[in-house]
């Protein structure tokens, strides 16, 4: 049961006193009498004292009456009317224009309306939290959610695939449990730890696991919650958050999406950022100013570290940056074990095989994969989730939902079949490329009319020049197949051309793989921060002549890739034709059903 605030109890007492005072009016031994009797009492000389308040007359008797009353009240009647009534001998009296209920409402209703309007305004201004003291009175209070130490049920056992990050964070747990042990030799724990990594890799889960392992209060907030339309509100919320944290130390403050709060100051010369900069300045002051003996650990997470203000990342604030990257194959197996432990699996499910099908998947992607497989198995009425359900779930996540209602005309289906078969044959003819798992001409997703699925046999972190050129040739395989069946090429290769162009530009501008331009990084690509407003002020780092050479080099690489794909398909024209016809008839081919081309001829 929630406790009423003191101010609410005070209001209730005040209203009760008002009601009692109104209801008790007319008490104290006064009896109401008709106005005609009042006049008779005056004529008889029995009235000792009279008090007139508007139309109400209160008086006292000279002698106490038989019934014990000592006074009376009456309502005045107009003089001319009273005179006429007195002549007739009729008893006459007056009553108030409003009865007791009207009097009560007249006294109570205006204050109640005022209080109600004030409470309503406070409720809406506080974003629906309501109550006395809300609204503008609480706009500077922190909106961080406090989770008690006993309520955090997440531990490091619930986090898989990020072993290095867990090892880094074990020190934080030990410090929060035994802060004196760390101070024995004069060492102190880092003030802040920044979790960096792509979306869905488990940064927030790691922060909750640290709180669960340490058994301390956990303040959870988001960088966007500090920023409001009122100047100074964000800074006030930062101050309030740290004040609460000091009272509950040792504790953890977790700020998710730190880039919303910690964006580099002065990054945008076009628009003013006064409120955001004041909020960031207050955060910097709090992180640099709180007592080292106070056991407060600040965890933050971001997937855009390149846009953070350098003052946040200096020593003394976020001392450590912990990378929470996409898991490798071993990590994906561990994550799958966590997400599949409560699911009913068929005997043919192989976690290693599923991990091999999901390169580049994050922890969130793998959780979605497990759910999609379970949904598919339920939909087909199975007793357990089979390997085919996982394969179909991977296909759905990567390529999108099947669109069988999207019916293509025969000519378009033929172009799509040759296009996808061209990709597959070029990929299988070039040694060292990722193996082709499946070809389909069933439309999927928003715009895909078909797809060729390749899965790498191992995780890769570096790629050589020959591998990049092979990948461009595979991307050009669809356009090459359309060229062979002519006479026109379609728009189906638009996405392939964009990806191939990105690879070619990277080889020329960043990797120094063009012999004519030499080993020079013409574009260091400093991150997405350069693509934001204000980035166009950055001067170009090469001349117009070099720009023409770069365009020529990129065009040469793409043309060479197209010619390579054309040469492979010409050597396998019969396989291309028969494979496309088979694909038209069956709509999808997988594994050994895909025809095998002759290997690529050596160059020269």
Q: Please give the order of strands across the beta sheet that includes 296-302.
A: 145-147, 218-222, 251-256, 296-302, 192-196, 318-323
Report whether pLDDT(135) > 60.
Answer: no
The secondary element (H helix, E strand) that includes residue 440 is strand 436-440
Is residue 41 included in any domain, yes or no?
no
Is 181 catalytic? The answer is no
Mean per-residue pLDDT, 247-259:
87
Is residue 2 included in any domain, yes or no?
no
- Cα 251 from Cα 166, distance rounded (Å): 19
- Res 565: pLDDT: 95
Q: Quick one: 275 and 319 in the same domain?
A: yes
Mean per-residue pLDDT, 153-157:
81
Is residue 139 included in any domain, yes or no?
no
Is 464 marked within a binding site? no
Q: Quick one: 387 and 438 in the same domain?
A: no
- Cα 66 from Cα 199, distance rounded (Å): 92
Long-range (24+ apart) CB contacts under 8 A made by 85-94 are: 85/36, 86/36, 86/39, 90/36, 91/34, 91/36, 91/37, 92/34, 92/35, 92/36, 93/33, 93/34, 93/35, 93/36, 94/35, 94/55
Mean predicted lDDT score pLDDT of the chain: 79
- Which residue has better confidence, 398 or 362? 362
Report whether pLDDT(133) > 70.
Answer: no
Is 202 marked within a binding site? yes
**pTM for the whole thing?**
0.67
Report whether pLDDT(591) > 90.
Answer: no
Is residue 491 included in any domain, yes or no?
yes
Exposed / middle / buried, residue 253 (Cβ in 10 Å: 0-12, 13-18, 19+) = buried
Compute the C-alpha angle 130/134/135, nearest 5°: 95
Q: Quick one: 567 and 548 in the same domain?
A: yes
Give the 3-state secondary structure of residue 49: strand
Q: Quick one: 177 and 311 in the same domain?
A: yes
- Which residue has better confidence, 274 or 17? 274
Q: Quick one: 380 and 438 in the same domain?
A: no
Mean per-residue pLDDT, 394-412:
78
Taking alpha carbons only, the member of 336, 366, 362 closest to residue 351 is 336
Report whether pLDDT(86) > 80.
Answer: no
Number of domains the chain is built from = 3
Q: Quick one: 309 and 278 in the same domain?
A: yes
User: Which residue in 168, 286, 420, 600 is the catalytic one?
Assistant: 420
Q: Quick one: 456 and 441 in the same domain?
A: yes
Phi, psi of 105 (to 5 degrees): -65, -35
Q: What is the DSSP string of 99-148?
A: -HHHHHHHHHHHHHHHHHHHHHHHHHHTTT--STT-GGGGTTS--PEEE-
> Distance of CA 187 to CAs 181, 184, 226, Å?
9, 7, 32
Answer whether 428's CB lies under 8 Å from 594's CB. Answer: yes
Domain, as residue range, for 437: 410-593
Q: Quick one: 319 and 337 in the same domain?
A: no
Q: Return the percent helix, strand and coil in the chain, to nearest 5.
A: 50, 10, 35
- Is the C-alpha dihedral spanning 247, 253, 259, 264 positive or negative? positive
Report whether pLDDT(506) > 50.
Answer: yes
Mean per-residue pLDDT, 159-181:
81
Among 28-37, 110-119, 569-578, which is the least confidently predicted range?
110-119
Last residue of a domain, one of 277, 303, 323: 323
Instruction: Give 332-381 pLDDT, tens digit per residue.
Output: 999 999 899 889 999 999 999 898 888 888 889 999 999 999 999 999 89
Structure tokens at 470: 């092979």
Last residue of a domain, one of 346, 364, 399: 399
CATH code assigned at 552: 1.20.58.760
Mean per-residue pLDDT, 37-41:
80
Structure tokens at 268: 């945008």
Is 200 marked within a binding site? yes
End-to-end CA distance of the chain: 85
Report whether pLDDT(561) > 90.
Answer: yes
Q: Give me the numbers of helices (H) and strands (E) for the chain, helices first please.
A: 20, 13
Structure tokens at 574: 């019969």
Is 341 marked within a binding site? no
Q: Quick one: 188 and 283 in the same domain?
A: yes
Is residue 280 included in any domain, yes or no?
yes
Mean per-residue pLDDT, 241-262:
86
- Which residue has better confidence, 118 or 479? 479
Is 423 marked within a binding site? yes
In this prediction, residue 418 has a pLDDT band, given cuts at 50, 70 and 90, of: very high
- Cα 482 from Cα 326, distance rounded (Å): 36
- Which residue has better confidence, 5 or 55? 55
- Res 482: pLDDT: 93
Distance, CA of 396 to chain centre: 24
In this prediction, residue 419 has a pLDDT band, given cuts at 50, 70 and 90, of: very high
Is residue 370 included in any domain, yes or no?
yes
604: CB partners within 8 A, 6+ apart: none
Q: Quick one: 389 and 522 in the same domain?
A: no
CATH code assigned at 208: 3.40.50.300
- Res 166: pLDDT: 87
> What are 51's strand-pairing partners?
58
Give the 3-state secondary structure of residue 232: coil
Q: Quick one: 171 and 222 in the same domain?
A: yes
Is 116 marked within a binding site? no
Report whether pLDDT(109) > 80.
Answer: no
Is 204 marked within a binding site? yes
Is residue 65 included in any domain, yes or no?
no
Is residue 99 included in any domain, yes or no?
no
- Res 100: pLDDT: 57
- Cα 100 from Cα 426, distance rounded (Å): 96
CATH code assigned at 395: 1.10.8.60
- Res 270: pLDDT: 47
Instruction: Give 204-215 pLDDT, tens digit per residue.
Output: 888 888 888 888
Q: Quick one: 222 and 318 in the same domain?
A: yes
Report whether pLDDT(119) > 50.
Answer: yes
- Cα 172 from Cα 318, distance rounded (Å): 13
- Cα 115 from Cα 192, distance rounded (Å): 45
Q: What is the 3-state secondary structure (H, E, C) of 455-509?
A: CCCCCCCCCCHHHHHHHHHHHCHHHHHHHHHCCCCCHHHHHHHHHHHHHHHHHHH
- Res 110: pLDDT: 72
- Which residue has better confidence, 237 or 20? 237
Last residue of a domain, one of 291, 323, 355: 323
How big is the chain by its Cα radius of gyration, in Å?
Answer: 41
- Cα 454 from Cα 468, distance rounded (Å): 15
Is 197 marked within a binding site? yes
Reply yes or no: is the peptide bond before residue 250 cis, omega within 30 of 0.
yes
Is 198 marked within a binding site? yes
């Amino acid at each position: 049961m929630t406790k009423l605030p003191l101010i609410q109890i005070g209001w209730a007492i005040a209203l009760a006193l008002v009601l009692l005072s109104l209801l008790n009016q007319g008490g104290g031994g006064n009896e109401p009498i008709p106005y005609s009797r009042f006049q008779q009492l005056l004529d008889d000389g029995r009235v000792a004292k009279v008090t007139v308040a508007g139309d109400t007359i209160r008086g006292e008797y000279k002698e106490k009456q038989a019934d014990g009353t000592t006074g009376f009240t009456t309502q005045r009647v107009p003089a001319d009317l009273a005179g006429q009534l007195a002549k007739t001998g009729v008893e006459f009296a007056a009553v108030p224009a409003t009865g007791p209920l009207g009097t009560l409402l007249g006294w109570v209703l205006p204050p109640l309306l005022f209080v109600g309007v004030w409470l309503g305004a406070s409720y809406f201004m506080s974003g629906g939290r309501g109550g006395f003291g809300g609204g503008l009175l609480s706009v500077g209070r922190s909106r961080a959610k406090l989770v008690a130490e006993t309520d955090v049920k997440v531990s490091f056992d619930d986090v898989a695939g990020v072993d290095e990050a867990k090892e880094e964070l074990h020190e934080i747990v030990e410090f929060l449990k035994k802060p004196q042990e760390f101070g024995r030799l004069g060492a102190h724990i880092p003030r802040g730890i920044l979790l960096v990594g792509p979306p869905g890799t488990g940064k927030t889960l790691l922060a909750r696991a640290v709180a669960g392992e340490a058994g301390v209060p956990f303040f959870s907030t988001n960088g966007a919650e500090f920023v409001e339309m009122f100047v100074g509100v964000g800074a006030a919320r930062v101050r309030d958050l740290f004040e609460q944290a000091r009272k509950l130390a040792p504790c953890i403050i977790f700020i998710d999406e730190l880039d919303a709060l910690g964006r580099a100051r002065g990054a945008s010369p076009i628009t003013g950022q006064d409120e955001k900069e004041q909020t960031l300045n207050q955060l910097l002051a709090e992180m640099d100013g709180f007592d080292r003996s106070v056991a407060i650990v600040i965890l933050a997470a971001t997937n855009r570290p390149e846009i953070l203000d350098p003052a946040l990342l200096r020593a003394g604030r976020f001392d450590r940056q912990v990378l929470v990257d996409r898991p490798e194959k071993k990590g994906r197996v561990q994550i799958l074990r966590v997400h599949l432990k409560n699911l009913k699996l068929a005997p043919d499910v192989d976690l290693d095989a599923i991990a091999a099908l999901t390169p580049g998947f994050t922890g969130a992607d793998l959780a979605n994969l497990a759910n999609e497989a379970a949904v598919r198995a339920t939909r087909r009425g199975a007793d357990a989730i089979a390997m085919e359900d996982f394969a179909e779930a991977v296909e759905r996540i990567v390529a999108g939902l099947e669109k069988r209602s999207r019916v293509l005309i025969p000519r378009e289906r033929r172009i799509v079949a040759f296009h996808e078969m061209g990709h597959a044959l070029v990929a299988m003819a070039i040694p060292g490329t990722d193996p082709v798992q499946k070809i389909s001409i069933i439309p999927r997703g928003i715009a895909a009319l078909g797809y060729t699925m390749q899965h790498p046999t191992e995780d890769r972190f570096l790629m050589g020049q020959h591998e990049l050129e092979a990948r461009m040739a595979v991307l050009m395989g669809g356009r090459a197949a359309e060229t062979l069946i002519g006479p026109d090429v379609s728009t189906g290769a638009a996405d392939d051309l964009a990806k191939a162009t990105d690879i070619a530009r990277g080889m020329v501008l960043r990797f120094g793989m063009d012999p004519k331009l030499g080993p020079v990084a013409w574009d260091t690509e400093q991150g997405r921060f350069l693509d934001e407003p204000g980035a166009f002020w950055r001067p170009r780092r090469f001349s117009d002549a070099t720009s023409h050479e770069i365009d020529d080099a990129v065009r040469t690489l793409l043309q060479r890739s197209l010619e390579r794909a054309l040469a492979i398909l010409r050597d396998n024209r019969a396989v291309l034709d028969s494979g496309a016809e088979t694909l038209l008839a069956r709509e999808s081919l997988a594994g050994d059903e895909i025809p095998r081309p002759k290997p690529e001829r050596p160059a020269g």
